[in-house]
Amino acid sequence: MESAFQLIDLDRAAPNPPPDAPGVRVAVAARPGEAGAGFDVLLTASPDPPRPWVGCADPYATARRLRDIVTARPDACLALVQVLRVGPRLPPPDRLVVESLAYSTLQAGAAFRSWLAGKRPHAARPSTEPVLLDRDGDRLTITLNRPRVRNAFDAATRDALCEALEVAVADPAVTRVDLRGSGPTFCSGGDLAEFGSSRDPARAHHVRVHRSPAALLQRCAAKVTAHLHGACVGAGIELAAFAGRVAATPDTVIRLPEIGMGLIPGAGGTASLPARIGRERTAYLALTGDAMSLPEARRWGLVDEVGVAVRDW
């Protein structure tokens, strides 16, 4: 089997990888320069480099770490970069379909089953009103309302959020939508109590595509401002990134943890984040699973403005 990881030193090699280069394609260079579109991640020692480059103190050490991650989770890593590569060639709604197909495939994979087997049990904590909806004239406020579990995203929250966003899509009198989270965190990602509860990946794909907050956000994005605070993990940043405007408080921390579970982002992140920061930087965030600070999110364009928290708890 060919290597799942390909490292190219642009200080010594041509700026374009061979068209049939296998695996996750990572390029390193002392300084950012011209590079072909065939790379999945571009690393440089220069601080604050231009897009699509990622600045790091030691690009070779970072590349070795990426190699180890890809070696440990080859199926998820390859699926991630393949979905990101094909995304720009597809209409926005189809990007969500391709993401969901890849996600469902990985749900049936050995890496995800292994992660599930080692996962600490989490008790379900259902909410009677997981999403709050408030209408004031032409302004709609949608609030994720599971503060006891850091607004973990479960099926009930997904369905309630779809119902709320359908109002924004269907009613032309709604000109502004504010998306918020109650409690100390905007959204801590998928509810671990439900991970692996579906034993039918094909059915899960059907549900994911037809009950999709991401698809509705694509349709009303220009109206939406997402207000981030605290942890914005997985779905918490994937959905927020669709918003036409993203505001965040100084305590905001962003992370995509799915590769470590043997999965890829499945709430729309392979469509929403590349539109803001490019597919290469999206790949870097998803592959590493590292927490992203607010200053870096602001520099990259994942966050548009920094504001003051409005606390309701």
According to DSSP, the β-strands at 131-136 and 139-144 are antiparallel
Whether the CA torsion 27, 30, 36, 41 is positive or negative: it is positive
Phi-psi region of 192 (alpha: psi -120 to 50; beta: other; left: phi over 0): alpha
**Distance from C-alpha of 141 to C-alpha of 81, rounded to nearest angstrom:** 35
**Distance from C-alpha of 80 to C-alpha of 74, rounded to nearest angstrom:** 10
Q: If 0-12 CB within 10 Å is exposed, 13-18 middle and 19+ buried, where does residue 90 land?
A: middle
Query: Could you report how far apart the first and last alpha carbons of the chain are, in Å?
Result: 54
Residues 6+ apart with CB under 8 A from 250: 294, 306
Sheet containing strand 24-29, edge to edge, reads: 5-9, 24-29, 41-44, 54-55
**Distance from C-alpha of 196 to C-alpha of 65, rounded to nearest angstrom:** 28
- CA distances (Å), 15 to each of 26, 43, 47, 181, 193, in order? 12, 13, 20, 44, 46
**Could you give phi then psi for residue 144, rounded to 5 degrees?**
-65, 130
Using the structure block, give the residue that is written with the tokens 């100084």.
Answer: 250
pLDDT of residue 310: 52
pLDDT of residue 22: 74
Q: Inter-axis angle of helices 92-107 and 213-220, to 10 degrees?
A: 160
What is the total residue count of the chain? 313
**Distance from C-alpha of 140 to C-alpha of 46, rounded to nearest angstrom:** 43
Position 17: which residue type? P
According to DSSP, the β-strands at 131-136 and 305-306 are unpaired
According to DSSP, the β-strands at 245-248 and 176-181 are unpaired
pLDDT of residue 176: 98
Position 118: which residue type? G
**Distance from C-alpha of 65 to C-alpha of 287, rounded to nearest angstrom:** 10
Two tokens at 191? 């509810």
pTM over 0.85: yes
**Distance from C-alpha of 211 to C-alpha of 119, rounded to nearest angstrom:** 27
Domains and CATH numbers, the chain: 5-72 (no CATH), 75-306 (3.90.226.10)
Kindly give the confidence (pLDDT) of every residue in the chain, 313 residues in length, as a single tens digit, with 9 standing for 90 and above. Answer: 458 999 999 988 777 766 666 799 999 999 998 887 889 999 999 999 999 999 999 999 999 999 999 999 999 999 999 999 999 999 999 999 999 999 999 999 999 999 999 988 888 888 899 999 999 999 999 999 999 999 999 999 999 999 999 999 999 999 999 999 999 999 999 998 888 777 788 998 999 999 999 999 999 999 999 999 999 999 999 999 999 999 999 999 999 999 999 999 999 999 999 999 999 999 999 999 999 989 999 999 999 999 865 555 4
Neighbours of 4 (CB within 10 A): 17
**Distance from C-alpha of 299 to C-alpha of 54, rounded to nearest angstrom:** 12
**Distance from C-alpha of 121 to C-alpha of 15, rounded to nearest angstrom:** 47
pLDDT of residue 19: 64
